[in-house]
Amino acid sequence: MGSILRPLWAYRGFVVGSVKREFQSKYRNSLLGAAWTVLNPLAMIIVYTVIFSQIMRAKLPGVDSTFGYSIFLCAGVLTWGLFAEIVNRAQNTFIEHANLLKKLSFPRLCLPVIVVANALLNFSIVFGLFSIFLLISGNFPGMAYLAVLPVLGVLVAFAIGLGISLGVLNVFFRDVGQMFGIVLQFWFWFTPIVYPISILPEPVRELLSYNPMTSLIGALQGILVTGQWPAWQSLLPVTLLAMAMCAYGMRLFRKHAGEMVDEL
């Protein structure tokens, strides 16, 4: 582990600078600049709240809050967005930075780290606004909110392990990235994000329990909608899977790091 972290720490300036440049370049030629980072998620939260809590008056089974379904939906969509951004960008990061990899000598793992840092920066802004909404609307989950961090930690580990694995494979087999884009669309709908798993028949619920994102999204929705602490034992399988994916991704990366530059 030290052999991995030491080079990354030595190039921390490169990582921070890259994250800063990407964030600034996103809004460089816009009049409102970084304000769009706030306006876009704020608009999404308002739309979900108005449409589902006021116009459609959507309700969650067993939840009396007016904003219950809006919070449920925001929690799922925002969390899935973090997962999808990390995986999508990680699987393309080596191809996108092919010229950089050929011209400069630096730890290749800096690129996935930059992907995660950018995704977490974007997510923290959006989730911070969402948390303010929870406070203002009187739906803040209380102490259970602290459980968000470990659950997100498992999600990020799973996403980056999967993303690095796909990123290495995508260098040699370009169909991997295209195929996974399709898989991700189906994966979204096979994850209880826009619908509660409780409304599904028992056989379907059992089938969805094999989806690693079901327990992670469900844990976060439970925290934010009802203030319930996660059932930690239910997160053990996905935690072990996240560790396994990270180990596999690193093994794959180390084995093919030299070949990747030639292939690019």
**pLDDT the model gives residue 195:** 85
End-to-end CA distance of the chain: 27
Distances 186 to 6, 58, 189, 264 between C-alpha atoms, Å? 39, 24, 5, 30
**Separation between Cα atoms, residue 207 and residue 3, nearest integer Å:** 40
Report DSSP letters for 151-186, one per residue.
HHHHHHHHHHHHHHHHHHHHHH-THHHHHHHHHHHH
**pLDDT the model gives residue 33:** 55
- Compute mean pLDDT per 10 residues along the chain, 264 residues long, and list them: 68 81 70 61 71 61 75 89 93 83 75 90 89 90 94 96 92 85 91 87 90 94 92 93 93 82 67
**pLDDT the model gives residue 238:** 95
In 3-state terms, what secondary structure has residue 33?
A: coil
**For 63-81, how does the pLDDT look when each residue is reduced to its tens digit (9 = 90+)?**
777 778 888 888 998 999 9
